[in-house]
Amino acid sequence: MTTPPGECVVLDIPQGLRLNLLGLVVEVGQVRIVADRAGLLGGLIASLTCGGGTAAAQSLEAMAQMLRSQEEQTAGADQRP
């Protein structure tokens, strides 16, 4: 067994967050959010921890817009003959 390099990163994962093989999962009460490719979740978490309420609200709105866009694309694809 080899010794890991001295520059290893140790993650301090706050309560309510967990890592799995698919990425970051945030659970707040009964709400579960999985990290997205656009990086909006990371921005939201950073806003909640560093940016205050206004920044968090902006991140939530950006995430909501992305979800609405995906729903519209899915609905449009379902309506094609």
Neighbour order of strands in the sheet with 31-34: 17-20, 23-28, 31-34
| Residues paired with 32 in a beta bridge | 27
pTM, two decimal places: 0.38
For residue 63, give the 3-state DSSP assignment: helix
**Distance between CA 45 and CA 34 in Å, rounded?**
12
Q: What is the pLDDT of residues 1-50, one digit of tens each?
A: 455 455 544 556 666 666 554 556 666 677 666 666 556 666 666 666 66
pLDDT at 9: 46
